[in-house]
Chain A
């Protein structure tokens, strides 16, 4: 049974963790895509920025969380979300809005967002350097070991505190987003604008306000995803280029402009990544006696080595673009 525990630790839990992070990131990308019709490349750097804000506040008040009994980064997360939301609105006002009003092609705004990516990256590295840091400054990362009741399994299931909070927060964010999009006036206005911006404008929807709300959502979700990723691993200032591809793959797989699709896509990409780097020979070794004598199982049976993890979202992206460019949930924007 140890193998099963190994499988749960390495695939079920870590897939859920990376899937949740990709899902939260992809929701922001897909919202921006559906309202403003361009692929926002600076999203991954907004994630890094949010995580950096959390890190800075945690470094300023390292003992604040202990007083309330929660990790300090978690306490600082709402502040960082607000700051990142303001940053997103500011970036839109200074860089994207003039271009939009100028009536340029969407691809020009995509290039501008790449420029914004570089600016954010430059700022982040100027202040934070290039080395990676732990988000837990004066605290310890809580690690839970759940022992199996069977005698067969000697190893426990390992899950850390940020991973549990991440999964809880993802569920909360999804429910909140669902209620917001379906029950509130603003959410309905957003959906109307993503369906048909011109029709939304003539029917009296304040499109500028919708854009601002979209950036608030995108910015705060980005800060959340970045913070949880940094809490799970560590804060790396140049992680953004490796995040962009899985996040965009998740958004496109789920159907661009489709928030629920983005969540499904995020988990699909996350699990696909962990399943492909998982070494299957560990599971097969248990059932080795079923195979004929001449067949030996190689020691390494992972589909791709972990250094080629980035190939997986790319393959998913290509497969979706070839067979179903609208995504599995039929997104609106092609």
Chain B
């Protein structure tokens, strides 16, 4: 019996995997028992969306060794596309002259872009390079200012007459895919600039682009309604109004689970394929990989863009499930650092570990909210009874801040004591 098992698993029994999976299972059962099934299914769907996002990050950090500090921005892009594509068509915008006005401004933008690009190629006609650069910069600034002043009346007209441009009335999954593509495009831009340089620069640039994406989504009211938020977002499945909460959420869970399984299968294939070996060789020894003739920067860019696409898709699914698009709800803590903890705790580079880590961390995260409140309340009561201190009135918001500290501590502790996570990456050695 034992001999048969060892034959089947030549690298040793998957004890860790079984233990971690059992831990996740017990945690899910506990939540079901204590919070009821409607709540628990909601938590599971959110956790599965986070698992997709975490898989994106594990490709970037675990496979490629690139650190993305702006997951939030790519999640928000996915959420924005999910909103834009799935919301019903707004006749107040499309049925009036506003649409053609907006189209005209975009046409002018294309013309301006062509002029600026043309100016940047003037050196081919024999214009000195310095003159060309100055001319290009001046033209770019001028056309930017002109476009901006053309754009402003149109957008304010849209805001006052139609609210916002509305959606495209397509199924939500189209939005998820386009969101993934858009996130990939932004990732390509950032990666193209930073990936040839020190790895720290990528972290700084992604942190910046995430804040910029959030600022744009928050302030371009004609596109996203900004802080006024858009809700309810239609689901790709029958909503809770028709089937009840548990059933509707369960169907949604099936969709996200199928997505996870498909992504997992493809990732495992890629990991074990020559492509995966090449990526790992670049991560582990850049110089020798370069000596073997691999185009390091191109491969890195591939990995980074690929990870961003997955993050965008996961962000779209998460936002659609929440049913509300609110740019203010995208927080670095919830959408960057929580995902980071999922990946480094679960095991960077280990897809199964990342998925289990995502589930486990998300359950702990959700459950820690009432726990932190309870602890803070208890502590405050003790203080009032024993020492006669006044507890601050905004205790609940402060209790939530305690979780910021815990997430930070977790990151530092895992990096120091378990740098490979709960389930370390398994590297097959072919003999």
Contacts and interface: CB of A to CB of B under 8 A. Distances in A.
B408 A119 contact: yes
Given A118-B333, A122-B404, A130-B397, A112 B415 contact: yes
A239 B286 CA distance: 37
B141 A310 contact: no
Interface in B385-431: 392, 394, 397-398, 401-412, 415-416, 419
Contacts of B404: 118-119, 121-122, 125
A130 B193 CA distance: 35
B254 interface: no
A129 B398 contact: yes
A115 B411 contact: yes
A144 interface: no
Contacts of A130: 397, 401
Contacts of A106: 198-200
A104 B415 CA distance: 10
Interface in B346-385: none
Most B CB atoms within 10 A — which of A112, A122, A325?
A122
B337 A118 contact: yes
B117 interface: no
A81 interface: no
A49 B401 CA distance: 15
Contacts of A79: none
Contact of B211 (A95, A102, A107, A241): A241
Interface string A306-334: 01101101100110011001000000011
B411 A245 contact: no
A118 B208 contact: no
Interface stretch (B144-152, B163-171, B268-276, B309-317): B144-152
B178 interface: no
Given A108-B419, A111-B344, A245-B208, A116 B145 contact: no
A303 B194 contact: no
A114 B65 CA distance: 16
A117 B209 CA distance: 19
A110 B205 contact: no
Contacts of B216: 308
A110 B200 contact: yes
Contact of B405 (A39, A112, A119, A325): A119
Interface string B196-227: 01111101110111011001101100000000
Most B CB atoms within 10 A — which of A115, A123, A321?
A115
B416 A98 contact: yes
Contact of A321 (B148, B205, B215, B218): B205
Contact of B219 (A112, A123, A241, A307): A307
B203 A110 contact: yes
Interface band, chain A: 35 or more
Contacts of A117: 408
Contact of B204 (A248, A310, A333): A248
A242 B207 CA distance: 10
Given A39-B203, A106-B199, A303 B402 contact: no
B200 A107 contact: yes
Contacts of A303: 141, 144-145
Contact of A129 (B203, B211, B215, B392): B392
B332 interface: yes
A115 B67 contact: no
Interface in A286-312: 298, 300-301, 303, 305, 307-308, 310-311
A38 interface: yes
B186 to A, nearest CB: 12
Contacts of A41: 69, 203, 207
B233 interface: no
Contact of A126 (B332, B337, B405): B405
Contacts of A104: 415, 419
B340 interface: yes
A105 B284 CA distance: 11
A301 B203 CA distance: 33
A104 B397 CA distance: 37
A243 to B, nearest CB: 11
Contacts of B201: 39, 252, 321
A295 to B, nearest CB: 11
Contacts of B145: 298, 301, 303
Nearest to B408: A118
B116 to A, nearest CB: 15
Interface in B299-353: 332-333, 337, 340, 344
A313 B208 CA distance: 9
A238 to B, nearest CB: 10
The 4 closest A-B pairs by CB, nearest first: A122-B405, A118-B408, A115-B411, A122-B404
Interface of A: 38-39, 41, 95, 98-99, 102, 104-108, 110-112, 114-123, 125-126, 129-130, 241-242, 244-245, 248, 252, 298, 300-301, 303, 305, 307-308, 310-311, 313-314, 317-318, 321-322, 325, 333-334
10 contacts: A108-B415, A110-B199, A125-B401, A241-B207, A298-B152, A303-B144, A308-B216, A310-B215, A314-B208, A322-B193
Given A39-B201, A108-B419, A334-B197, 16 more contacts: A98-B416, A106-B200, A107-B65, A111-B67, A111-B415, A112-B415, A114-B69, A115-B415, A121-B404, A121-B408, A129-B392, A300-B152, A305-B219, A307-B215, A308-B215, A317-B205
